[in-house]
Structure 1
Amino acid sequence: MSLILASSSPFRKKLLKKLSLDFDIVSPEIDESRQDNETPKQLVFRLAQEKAREVAKTHSGLIIASDQVATLADGAGVDDEILTKPQSHKNATRQLEQSSGNVVTFLTSLTLLNAHTNNMQTYIHTSKVFFKVLSAEKIEDYLQKEQPYNCAGGFKSETPLGVSLFERIEGDDVDAMVGLPLIQLAKMLEKEGVSILKK
């Protein structure tokens, strides 16, 4: 059965290649806007499923879809503010100032849809990043060197420079923070009869 990655993300493509499986890539065109009163968890859950269903309209096989948001706790400790891709130095500086000494939660959804049977598995992985207290000089130095303006929150968790901003990370799948929870994906594929290794 063919395997399709419903994503245009080069990071997810690179991660999926780690499983040494043949797959095609189809970029789903959907509206990713957050709905009224939708929590970040509800948002990523819905978007992963919508991406998979969109690709299933024109392709068959097993469809892998994912979505991710980074959230920052507000004063009451509620993770509701979604950290977007800053796109500029000014915005990235502001986001890192907000994250300094704080906890950023990554919610990464994963959907595997069997387009033949319509069986759908969906999972959400949670990672927590505990930031060091960052000086203005450290933030500026990091942004000049890494320029992570197309990354949620204004930092790259997968690089040595990025992790130098952290005190620690809590989560049970290192690939999930980059964009695709491979441990869970392997389990989902097994349920659909796809083995990563020979039995």
Structure 2
Amino acid sequence: MMQKPLLLASSSPYRKVLLERFGLPFRCASPDIDETPIQGETGEALATRLAETKTRALRERFPGHWIIGSDQVACLPDGSVLSKPGDHKQATDQLCRSSGHKVLFLTGLALLDADSGRLERHCEPFTAHFRELTGEEIEAYLRREHPYDCAGSFKMEGLGITLFEALEGRDPNSLVGLPLIALNEMLCRWGRNPLLEHRPDAVRG
């Protein structure tokens, strides 16, 4: 299969930094989609559906591209699904509910060939064991990092690490928002191996 330029369907600076680790040239574009869950939808179904929807939202604007989409949800032990909190009040509620519990993070990943319509989807699980957090700690954390655009209300690449007592999963990058191990596997199956094509001087944007 002919190699095509990559497009990251995201405006997230966190996902952009992660994808830069592959050393491949790519572009970024923000998809405009409705992220409202469907009634009765599981966390895995929601994460993979949103990841795919992001790629399809940009298909007509970017013909000739391989489009990468990713989205994440968090699932509490009682089955509740947490998405992006959006504000301080919701983030406080999310962290209070996560305190002392194992929270399953599900990161959906989709790779779409804009021309042929070929699509591959994956959902990467990762478990975060939250320690018992005091109200004072939660307030201090939120005031310092403002993680209101992050599922679960924390930034793994920052002070979010102080919220946990253990992390469990094959790819910690998925907690930041882009499961690089799974994406590498997809690209290799599509005939594009980042290890053999690494370009440290690649222009990205």
Q: TM-score, normalised by structure 1?
A: 0.89
Q: Which amino acid aligns with 2:36?
A: S
Match of 1:72 among 66, 72, 76: 76
1:139-174 CA-to-partner distances (Å, cap 9, x unmatched) read: 233223323233222222222x21111010111011
Q: How many residues align?
A: 193
CA distance in 2, matches of 1:13, 1:186: 15
CA distance in 2, matches of 1:69, 1:175: 14
Listed as ranges, the matches of 1:56-67 within 5 Å are: 56-59=59-62, 60-67=64-71
Partner of 2:126: 127
Partner of 1:146: 145
> Is 1:163 paired with 2:167?
no
Partner of 1:27: 30
CA distance in 2, matches of 1:58, 1:144: 38
Match of 1:4 among 4, 7, 10: 7
Partner of 1:40: 43
> Which consecutive segments of 4 or more residues in structure 1 shift more than 4 A?
none
Partner of 2:102: 103
List runs of 5+ in structure 1 lacking aligned partners: none
Does the C-alpha gap of structure 1 residues 12 and 30 become closer, same or farther in structure 2, counting only changes over 3 Å? same
CA distance in 1, matches of 2:108, 2:149: 20
| Structure 1 residue 30: Cα displacement | 1.9
Partner of 1:53: 56
Listed as ranges, the matches of 1:169-188 within 5 Å are: 169-188=167-186
- The answer to whether the Cα contact below 8 Å between 2:72 and 2:83 also exists between their aligned partners in 1 is no
- The answer to whether the Cα contact below 8 Å between 2:68 and 2:111 also exists between their aligned partners in 1 is yes
List runs of 5+ in structure 2 lacking aligned partners: 198-205
Q: Which amino acid aligns with 1:40?
A: G
Does the C-alpha gap of structure 1 residues 51 and 144 become closer, same or farther in structure 2, counting only changes over 3 Å? closer
Does the C-alpha gap of structure 1 residues 52 and 91 become closer, same or farther in structure 2, counting only changes over 3 Å? closer
